[in-house]
Chain A
Amino acid sequence: MLTYILRRLLLMIPTLLGMTALVFCVMAMSPGGIGGAALAAAGGNVRGAEAARIRAYYEKRYHINSPLIVQYGRWLNEISPIGWREDDDGNFTTFGFKSPSLGESMERHRPVGDLIAESLPITLLLNFITIPIIYAIGVWTGIRAARHRGGAFDSIFGFTQLAAWSMPTIWLGVMLITFLASNQYLHWFPAAGLNEMTASQMKFLPFFDPAHHWHRGWVLDVCWHIMLPVACLSFGASAFLTKLVRGSVLENLGADYARTARAKGVAENVVLYRHVFRNSLIALITVAAAILPSLLAGSVIIETIFSIPGMGQLGVEGARFQDREVILAVTLIGGIITLVSMLLRDIFYVLADPRVSYD
């Protein structure tokens, strides 16, 4: 098992290389080439001495006019823990161990590592809160619908499930903000960001001040801000899971081993929760790996609508400016997350299904 995990981890490397290379090529093919838009934004696209100076600066600092292979090679060198060290003039010095870095953003002129460190936790927070919620809703509703198949719950469920799954996330987000988070209608929730502007001055936990005014505290503030985004994100995915659970439970309820259990005298409840659900778990785990990438894509939209400074937004901006380092870093991290979640899924699969083994 350990060798299997090791092998998978090693196999991730060529896949990641392929991914980043592909994205790099796509970027290079777009008009303006690498860093074109960033350059344009900085005023380097017009004629004149000033613009020429800007162009030269960008070239020296970010090497945007070097051949593509060289640019990609440089980036690979940057992220690897073994490579050539670079001095301030851009010349390569010694070869050996070095600290890997993600480079510098052309548009914001800040180290990409810092940008990611700021934005990744936010995206992860959003997704990691969503996942248990969608599983809880999906499992509860799906089992309920399967148990009372044909009943009122199931019919209503069937109708709303498809509607919920078809609901475009952007529409849901916009509608929620319009009606629940705006000045013109109900202002129950905040419309933007993860914290109020006074967040840094807030205490961590809620408290009462001497004048008996209740203060939210940082934790509750984040919760309040995150409710609408999480609701949006979990809407479609929980509908999908519900249908999956219902189908799997129904299929297993009619399976031969369930019939054997009933013939033994096992109560229907126990058949459901002990025998059937354990088998449906396998299907649930299999689908988990598909859910995470779609959640990541969804969180890009959510971050944009709710102005949450997560990694998705970072990626969108990077794409807009053809900011090489940022896009490559986002692709890399996103790819790592996806591949690791697939590996975790396979590990859980082995744990859940005794028929499967990788040895």
Chain B
Amino acid sequence: MPQPLLELKDLSVGFDTERGQIRPVAEVSFSIYPGQTVALVGESGCGKSVTALSILRLIPQPPGRILGGQVLLEGQDLLKLSERDMRGVRGKDIAMIFQEPMTSLNPVYTIGDQIIEAVTLHQHVSTREARDIAERSLNDVGISDPHRRLQEYPHQMSGGMRQRVMIAMALSCQPKLLIADEPTTALDVTIQAQILELLRKLQRERGMSILLITHDLGVVAENADTVGVMYASRVVEFATVEELFDHPKHPYTEGLFRSIPKLGQHAKRLETISGMVPAPTRFPSGCKFHPRCPRTRKMAESIKAAQPVSMPPGSNVPLETTPIRDADGDIFDVLSKCVGVEPTLREVKPSHWASCHVLENYEKSPPTAPHLEHRREDATNGASSDAQEVIR
């Protein structure tokens, strides 16, 4: 069995804030295979950016802290490397591009200087050769007249061009994995499409893997091979892109898809997921989605009356099962679990992981970390166009 390029195993990251310690990333596990594009999807504040930054250990150590888990790059745990060795990985084996091309480049140096810096850090070449490499990188990302561009400053370029420069800089040392943190969010829609196509082309040419962080399901549909959905610090669903779009299993993912308006649909109001994303200092007990979940609501409605409350949701509830009784005194097992026990990712269907107590095969499957060596060319044309059908 081929080995994954990058494997996250139960990665947890904590932050010390004025209001106490929060855990923006809790037991996140997934794998990225060579040549694969894995998308990490979620709303703002779900922890996807922190996860990405933690892979490269770019979270400042106070106030941040790695609470546990492993990040295995070709079998080697990056979390155990010395800072010096880690610097050898950054930019060389794993590169990262960021959301805001406006501010992500140093305004007082030419882009030539900045790309050459990246090159000379990891490759033993003369400045002359480094300049040539830089020029070639600019060419690869589709920037015309690269020789002149090397002398320019970031403020002299448009947003789309700056993002291309960022990509050129990231790829100048031929990394095996490119982490792209919302690379197109700050750009116009047309430029978005160009940048994503560029990334796809470079990936094909170099056999590079991409970890694509985004909140845009359209981007996911067009670019990802496998998808992880994150909510409130955890991965709640992980599947191939076709499977996810055709058969979402987790109520949050279902809610996301339902809220996308469809062409030709008649409706008076847009559908939403009721409630708000909880702040990291106020995560609910048990399943973090349970206060907003339509499944728990249905279960609750079927109970005729309720016992008086002793604790509000959101407080520290012990992790054993806290039974919920209806008027007749019967225990509602599943609902109690939703409120009291945090679900973990389990393979509820072949090649489809989800974490929800209500799912059919949830109890039967063991908790495992997702491994999906899947690429979109493997699927049939019909399925992939189905996925895109949903978006259009």
B41 to chain A, nearest CB (A): 22
Query: What are 5 A-B interface contacts by the 8 Å CB criterion?
Result: A256-B104, A257-B103, A263-B170, A264-B170, A266-B87
The answer to the question of B309 belonging to the interface, with a C-beta cut-off of 8 Å to chain A, is no
> A265 contacts B103, CB within 8 Å?
no
Which of chain B's residues 81-99 have a Cβ closer than 8 Å to chain A? 87-92, 95-96, 98
Further pairs besides A256-B98, A263-B96: 19, Cβ < 8 Å:
A150-B62, A256-B104, A257-B107, A260-B98, A260-B104, A260-B105, A260-B166, A263-B95, A263-B170, A264-B117, A264-B118, A265-B91, A265-B121, A265-B122, A278-B108, A278-B109, A352-B108, A353-B108, A354-B155
The answer to the question of A279 belonging to the interface, with a C-beta cut-off of 8 Å to chain B, is yes
Q: What separation, in Å, do the CA atoms of A257 and B98 have in the docked complex? A: 10
The answer to the question of A1 belonging to the interface, with a C-beta cut-off of 8 Å to chain B, is no
Majority secondary structure of chain A interface residues (helix, strand, loop or mixed): helix
The answer to the question of A110 belonging to the interface, with a C-beta cut-off of 8 Å to chain B, is no
The answer to the question of A355 belonging to the interface, with a C-beta cut-off of 8 Å to chain B, is yes
> A264 contacts B169, CB within 8 Å?
yes
> B104 contacts A279, CB within 8 Å?
no
> B58 contacts A263, CB within 8 Å?
yes
> A267 contacts B87, CB within 8 Å?
yes
A132 to chain B, nearest CB (A): 23
> B98 contacts A354, CB within 8 Å?
no
Q: What separation, in Å, do the CA atoms of A53 and B161 have in the docked complex? A: 83
Q: Which residues from chain A contact B166 at a C-beta distance below 8 Å? A: 260
The answer to the question of A61 belonging to the interface, with a C-beta cut-off of 8 Å to chain B, is no
User: Nearest B residue to A267 by beta-carbon distance?
Assistant: B87
Q: Which residues from chain A contact B117 at a C-beta distance below 8 Å? A: 261, 264, 266
Q: Which residues from chain A contact B108 at a C-beta distance below 8 Å? A: 278-279, 282, 352-354
Q: Which residues from chain A contact B332 at a C-beta distance below 8 Å? A: none
Q: Which residues from chain B contact A352 at a C-beta distance below 8 Å? A: 108
User: Nearest A residue to B103 by beta-carbon distance?
Assistant: A256
Q: Which residues from chain A contact B100 at a C-beta distance below 8 Å? A: 256
User: Nearest B residue to A264 by beta-carbon distance?
Assistant: B91
User: Nearest A residue to B121 by beta-carbon distance?
Assistant: A265
The answer to the question of A262 belonging to the interface, with a C-beta cut-off of 8 Å to chain B, is yes
Q: What separation, in Å, do the CA atoms of A262 and B104 have in the docked complex? A: 11
Interface range on chain A (Cβ under 8 Å from partner): 20 to 34
The answer to the question of B106 belonging to the interface, with a C-beta cut-off of 8 Å to chain A, is yes
The answer to the question of B257 belonging to the interface, with a C-beta cut-off of 8 Å to chain A, is no
User: Nearest B residue to A257 by beta-carbon distance?
Assistant: B106
Q: What separation, in Å, do the CA atoms of A96 and B121 have in the docked complex? A: 68
User: Nearest B residue to A282 by beta-carbon distance?
Assistant: B108
Which of chain A's residues 273-299 have a Cβ closer than 8 Å to chain B? 275, 278-279, 282
Q: Which residues from chain B contact A353 at a C-beta distance below 8 Å? A: 107-108
A33 to chain B, nearest CB (A): 55
> A259 contacts B104, CB within 8 Å?
yes
User: Nearest A residue to B94 by beta-carbon distance?
Assistant: A263
A350 to chain B, nearest CB (A): 12
The answer to the question of B138 belonging to the interface, with a C-beta cut-off of 8 Å to chain A, is no
The answer to the question of A255 belonging to the interface, with a C-beta cut-off of 8 Å to chain B, is yes
> A265 contacts B88, CB within 8 Å?
yes
> B105 contacts A257, CB within 8 Å?
yes
Q: What separation, in Å, do the CA atoms of A352 and B107 have in the docked complex? A: 11
Q: Which residues from chain A contact B121 at a C-beta distance below 8 Å? A: 264-266
Q: What separation, in Å, do the CA atoms of A226 and B153 have in the docked complex? A: 45
The answer to the question of B28 belonging to the interface, with a C-beta cut-off of 8 Å to chain A, is no
> A263 contacts B90, CB within 8 Å?
yes
Q: Which residues from chain A contact B87 at a C-beta distance below 8 Å? A: 265-267
Q: What separation, in Å, do the CA atoms of A267 and B117 have in the docked complex? A: 12
A348 to chain B, nearest CB (A): 13
Q: What separation, in Å, do the CA atoms of A355 and B170 have in the docked complex? A: 24
Q: Which residues from chain B contact A257 at a C-beta distance below 8 Å? A: 103-107
The answer to the question of B11 belonging to the interface, with a C-beta cut-off of 8 Å to chain A, is no
B261 to chain A, nearest CB (A): 33
> B90 contacts A264, CB within 8 Å?
yes
Q: What separation, in Å, do the CA atoms of A354 and B156 have in the docked complex? A: 10
A262/B58 contact (C-beta < 8 A), A256-B98, A256-B100 known: yes
> B122 contacts A279, CB within 8 Å?
no
Per-residue B-contact encoding for A235-277, CB less than 8 Å = 1, 0 else: 0000000000000000000011101111111110000000100
Per-residue B-contact encoding for A27-51, CB less than 8 Å = 1, 0 else: 0000000000000000000000000
User: Nearest A residue to B179 by beta-carbon distance?
Assistant: A263
Q: What separation, in Å, do the CA atoms of A267 and B166 have in the docked complex? A: 19
Q: Which residues from chain B contact A261 at a C-beta distance below 8 Å? A: 106, 117
Q: What separation, in Å, do the CA atoms of A343 and B62 have in the docked complex? A: 43
Q: What separation, in Å, do the CA atoms of A282 and B106 have in the docked complex? A: 13
Q: Which residues from chain B contact A278 at a C-beta distance below 8 Å? A: 106, 108-109
> A354 contacts B153, CB within 8 Å?
yes
> A354 contacts B90, CB within 8 Å?
no
B19 to chain A, nearest CB (A): 18
The answer to the question of B341 belonging to the interface, with a C-beta cut-off of 8 Å to chain A, is no
Q: Which residues from chain A contact B88 at a C-beta distance below 8 Å? A: 265
The answer to the question of B56 belonging to the interface, with a C-beta cut-off of 8 Å to chain A, is yes
A355 to chain B, nearest CB (A): 5
B6 to chain A, nearest CB (A): 15
Per-residue A-contact encoding for B331-359, CB less than 8 Å = 1, 0 else: 00000000000000000000000000000
Per-residue A-contact encoding for B158-176, CB less than 8 Å = 1, 0 else: 0000000010011000000
User: Nearest A residue to B107 by beta-carbon distance?
Assistant: A355
Q: What separation, in Å, do the CA atoms of A267 and B85 have in the docked complex? A: 11
User: Nearest B residue to A279 by beta-carbon distance?
Assistant: B108
Q: Which residues from chain B contact A282 at a C-beta distance below 8 Å? A: 108
User: Nearest B residue to A255 by beta-carbon distance?
Assistant: B103
Q: Which residues from chain B contact A260 at a C-beta distance below 8 Å? A: 98, 104-106, 166, 169
Which of chain B's residues 251-282 have a Cβ closer than 8 Å to chain A? none
> A279 contacts B107, CB within 8 Å?
yes
Q: What separation, in Å, do the CA atoms of A150 and B61 have in the docked complex? A: 13
A262/B90 contact (C-beta < 8 A), A256-B100, A354-B155 known: yes
Q: Which residues from chain B contact A265 at a C-beta distance below 8 Å? A: 87-92, 118, 121-122
A14 to chain B, nearest CB (A): 34
Q: Which residues from chain B contact A255 at a C-beta distance below 8 Å? A: 103
